[in-house]
């Protein structure tokens, strides 16, 4: 081979090597992340997606990663409103007057509702929406307006309610004169929100938008957004329990994305979460979005009673049947003897609280009212009313719930131990009041009071 041929061959080999290296390097380079619309959908739906991709990329990305997106469920499927709907967003119509985007033109104009409600979700999830509608979650606004002295006596104001109570319980949505949602009522994803279309609740309380993840709702942190603190510390109780310990140790191994209705103990998870016991299907027990099911006691009530005997919202269930369902859930991981013994212990704790602490305290409170030593026209403005309230609303709940969810520190130190101190203080102050014969001191003016005491006509009709 002459020198010229050798050089030519070497150049060819080198060129091939460079080409191969470049090709291999190109294969290892990550492709740009993009979302391309390749399936059929109305042009208005395309406009929603393309506009939000620019205007609110976090919202768009959340949706793009969802099962909704995989199933070709677009913004329009959830947000589209019908002519005459009360919840049509007037503000959104202004988007079609813009000149800085091709998606803001009249050809894409369509009525949308800014607030997606359970009624909207029922288009695709009718059973879940129906179950939810009969739960205490959905009806919690009616419940608290029937029983809560903070609302009925106006002992907190509108700001305190909107930033605190209504964040979890829900607001009653209303629009201002200009068609915008009142900031005292929106934003809100409370479980009992009263929507402009008449429906109750918010699915995004547990399945936050715009991912709407089943995985998220199965984790205890979803419930812990509201079920925490001195009066209903379920998330703290759960994390102390053996169930919570298993979740902490093995939760990263759980199959959180199992299809709805198929999440199985021992297969997909080792220890249960809130959803496992109260909502998810297991064994012969069907999945439900009615958290009132499977309950055999109202542990949050002043006097512990059966759910069907709860005056503010009597459950349309038989507590024995529902207890059987919950025990079937327990028996997926525990023996029948273990489960029955646990329930026997819980019943004993309920009787202990009812008979030793609540009933005598309630009898004393009634005696003070009858003797005009306390004024029953308002609540919380006299110290004994606060002591009585916290006996059942704080320590009493913790004792009962701690026992039910197997958290001994909450059952005893945060529960019955504190009940003793609260009870003794209440009885001592009551005895002093009776001995003096003088009415109790009233906090007047009461700080932060002045809240509207009118029951919402959307729930109770015109008063």
Residue 102 has a pLDDT of 87
Peptide bond into 307 cis (omega under 30): no
Task: State the pLDDT at residue 98.
Answer: 84
How many domains does the structure of the chain reveal? 2
> Token pair for residue 360?
């005598």
Assigned domain for 352 exists: yes
- How large is the greatest C-alpha to C-alpha distance in the chain, in angstroms? 126
Q: Which of 64, 90, 115 is the last residue of a domain?
A: 115
298 forms beta bridges with 305
Helices H / strands E in the chain, number of each: 25, 0
61 in a domain, yes or no?
A: yes
Per the CB < 8 A criterion, the answer to whether 334 and 284 are in contact is no
Cα 253 → chain centroid: 24
- State the pLDDT at residue 11: 46
Residue 10: predicted pLDDT: 47
Half-sphere exposure at residue 186, Cβ-oriented, CA atoms within 13 angstroms:
16
For 82, the token pair is 């019908």
In a domain, 77, yes or no: yes
Q: Tell me, yes or no, whether 203 lies in a domain.
A: no
Distance CA 171, CA 184 (A): 8
Residue finishing a domain among 115, 147, 169: 115
Q: How many CA atoms lie within 13 A of 67 on its CB side?
A: 10
Residue 126 domain flag: no
The answer to the question of residue 145 being in a domain is no
Specify the pLDDT at position 391.
98
Phi/psi at 231 (5° precision) = -100, -25
On whether residue 234 sits in a domain, the answer given is: no
Q: Which residue segment(s) compose the domain that 438 sits in? A: 292-450
pLDDT of residue 337: 98
Question: Which pTM does this prediction carry?
Answer: 0.88
| DSSP per-residue string spanning 208-249 | -TTT--HHHHHSHHHHHTTS-SSS--HHHHHHHSHHHHHHHH
Residue 171 forms part of a structural domain: no
Task: For residue 194, list its beta bridge partners.
Answer: 172, 200
The alpha carbon dihedral of 440, 445, 447, 449 has a sign of: positive
Q: Which of 80, 115, 150 corresponds to the end of one domain?
A: 115
The per-residue pLDDT string of the chain (463 residues; one tens digit each, 9 = 90 and over) reads 454 454 444 445 444 444 444 444 445 555 565 555 556 789 999 999 999 999 999 999 999 999 999 999 999 999 999 888 888 998 888 888 888 888 888 889 999 999 999 999 999 999 999 999 999 999 999 999 999 999 999 999 999 999 999 999 999 999 988 888 999 999 999 999 999 999 999 999 999 999 999 999 999 999 999 999 999 999 999 999 999 999 999 999 999 999 988 999 999 999 999 999 999 999 999 999 999 999 999 999 999 999 999 999 999 999 999 999 999 999 999 999 999 999 999 999 999 999 999 999 999 999 999 999 999 999 999 999 999 999 999 999 999 999 999 999 999 999 999 999 999 999 999 999 999 999 999 999 999 999 999 999 999 998 7
Question: What's the half-sphere exposure (Cβ side, CA atoms, 13 Å) at 16?
Answer: 6
- CATH number for 393: 1.20.850.10
Q: CA 425 to CA 396: how far, in whole Å?
A: 15
Report pLDDT for 83: 83
CA distances for 46 relative to 63, 108, 209, 456, angstroms: 14, 9, 19, 40
């Amino acid at each position: 081979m002459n020198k010229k041929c050798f050089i030519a061959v070497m150049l060819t080999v080198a060129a091939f090597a460079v080409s191969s290296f470049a090709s291999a390097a190109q294969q290892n380079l990550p492709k740009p992340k993009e979302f391309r619309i390749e399936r059929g959908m109305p042009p208005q739906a395309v406009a929603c997606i393309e506009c939000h991709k620019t205007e609110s990329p976090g919202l768009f990305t959340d949706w793009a990663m969802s099962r909704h997106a995989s199933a070709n469920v677009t913004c329009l499927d959830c947000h589209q409103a019908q002519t005459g709907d009360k919840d049509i967003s007037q503000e959104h119509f202004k988007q079609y007057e813009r000149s800085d985007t091709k998606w803001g033109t009249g050809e894409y104009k369509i009525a949308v509702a800014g607030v997606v409600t359970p009624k909207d979700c029922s288009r695709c999830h009718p059973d879940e929406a129906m179950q939810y509608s009969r739960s205490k979650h959905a009806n919690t606004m009616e419940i608290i307006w029937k029983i809560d002295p903070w609302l009925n006596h106006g002992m907190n104001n509108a700001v305190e309610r909107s930033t605190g109570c209504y964040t979890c319980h829900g607001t009653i949505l209303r629009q201002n004169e200009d068609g915008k949602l009142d900031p005292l009522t929106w934003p809100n994803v409370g479980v009992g929100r009263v929507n402009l279309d008449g429906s109750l609740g918010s699915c995004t309380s547990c399945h936050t938008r715009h991912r709407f993840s089943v995985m998220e709702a199965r984790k205890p942190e979803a419930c812990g957004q509201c079920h925490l603190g001195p009066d209903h510390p379920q998330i703290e109780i759960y994390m102390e329990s053996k169930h919570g310990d298993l979740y902490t140790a093995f939760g990263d191994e759980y199959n959180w994305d199992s299809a709805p209705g198929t999440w199985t103990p021992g297969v997909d998870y080792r220890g249960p979460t809130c959803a496992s016991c109260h909502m998810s299907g297991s064994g012969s027990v069907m999945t439900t979005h009615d958290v009132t099911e499977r309950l055999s006691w109202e542990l949050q009530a002043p006097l512990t009673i059966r759910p069907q005997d709860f005056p503010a919202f009597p459950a349309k269930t038989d507590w024995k049947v529902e207890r059987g369902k919950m025990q079937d859930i327990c028996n997926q991981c525990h023996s029948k003897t273990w489960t029955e013994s646990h329930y026997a212990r819980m019943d004993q704790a309920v009787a202990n609280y009812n008979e030793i602490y609540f009933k005598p305290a309630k009898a004393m409170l009634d005696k003070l009212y009858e003797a005009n030593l306390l004024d029953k026209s308002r609540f919380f403005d006299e110290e004994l009313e606060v002591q009585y309230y916290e006996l059942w609303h704080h320590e009493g709940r913790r004792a009962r719930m701690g026992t039910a969810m197997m958290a001994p520190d909450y059952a005893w130190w945060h529960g019955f131990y504190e009940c003793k101190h609260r009870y003794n203080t209440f009885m001592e102050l009551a005895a002093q009041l009776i001995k003096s014969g003088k009415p109790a001191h009233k906090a007047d003016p009461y700080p932060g009071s002045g809240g509207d005491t009118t029951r919402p006509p959307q729930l109770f009709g015109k008063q």
